[in-house]
């Protein structure tokens, strides 16, 4: 199980959003930190095949990001997730499951399991437009898990979660990260301390730090702020 990013670069007009990033990822939870505009979302979209890099490659066990086989192993929660307001949570998961190729029976079973997992069982038949921000976020996390992804990419998954759900989320992710590759971005340094095995820090499109968070234990926030001091 190896996800290889090889010299990924992406430029928008005169702005280099991702600047020659190379990285080998194995199972575990990776926490991506960086200021607004550092390039986290751009990098994640490239890893998900939603955005094509100008140069460089993404491969998972030798399979290219552009292939169907890669997509089948991928789960993705985008930063700006488009919901269908008139769908219920259950409708939405069944619909997403169909897009991912699950059969009707599989979809129903998986949707129930995931709604339970993200504490939305009671709200399963409520329209999404009536959900709170945190409930929508949890539904977004649930849809990313429909196909039991080996590569799970979550762009600011904890945004809007209350403390109880945040803890619940950490436990879910820790479990998934034992057997799979999880990359999540966050602005909350304590999220990283509690969830991530490895810290990835981005600045101006570059990877400026990569390592076990324990090495920075206690002062990760201080370390982070130092990297962005002059901004």
CA 68 – CA 101 distance, rounded (Å): 11
Q: Among ligand ATP, Mg ion, none, what does residue 14 contact (CB within 5–8 Å per kind)? A: none
Identify the three-state secondary structure at position 179: coil
x/- map, 33-72, Mg ion, by CB under 5 A: -------xx-------------------------------
> With respect to ligand ATP, which residue has the nearer C-beta, 79 or 112?
79
Alpha helix stretches (DSSP H) within the chain: 40-47, 68-72, 89-99, 104-117, 133-144, 163-177, 189-195, 220-227
CA 215 – CA 231 distance, rounded (Å): 25
x/- map, 63-82, ligand ATP, by CB under 6 A: ----------------x---
Part in contact with ligand ATP (CB under 6 A); list of ranges 37-45, 131-139, 158-166, 211-219 = 37-45
34 near ligand ATP, judged by CB under 6 A: yes
User: Dihedral sign, CA of 63, 69, 73, 75?
Assistant: positive
Binding footprint of ligand ATP on the chain (CB under 6 A): 12, 15, 17, 34, 36-42, 79
């Amino acid at each position: 199980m190896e996800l290889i990013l090889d010299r990924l670069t992406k430029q928008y007009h005169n702005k280099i959003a991702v600047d020659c990033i190379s990285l080998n990822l194995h199972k575990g939870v990776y926490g991506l930190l960086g200021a607004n505009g550092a390039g986290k979302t751009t990098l994640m979209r490239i890893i998900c095949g939603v955005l094509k890099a100008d140069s460089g490659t993404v491969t998972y066990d030798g399979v290219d990001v552009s292939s169907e086989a890669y997509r089948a192993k991928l789960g993705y929660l985008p930063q700006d997730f488009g919901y269908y307001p008139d769908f219920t949570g259950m409708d939405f998961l069944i619909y997403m499951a169909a897009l991912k190729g699950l059969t009707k029976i599989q979809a129903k079973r998986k949707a129930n399991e995931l709604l339970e997992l993200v504490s939305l069982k009671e709200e399963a038949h409520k329209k999404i437009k009536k959900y709170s921000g945190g409930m929508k976020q949890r539904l977004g996390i649930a849809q990313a898990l429909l196909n039991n992804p080996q590569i799970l990419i979550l762009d600011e998954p904890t945004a809007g979660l209350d403390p109880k759900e945040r803890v619940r989320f950490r436990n879910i992710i820790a479990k998934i990260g034992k057997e799979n590759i999880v990359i999540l971005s966050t602005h909350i340094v304590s999220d990283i301390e509690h969830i991530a095995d490895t810290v990835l820090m981005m600045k101006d499109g570059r990877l400026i730090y990569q390592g076990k968070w324990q090495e920075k234990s206690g002062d990760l926030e201080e370390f982070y702020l130092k990297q962005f001091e002059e901004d």
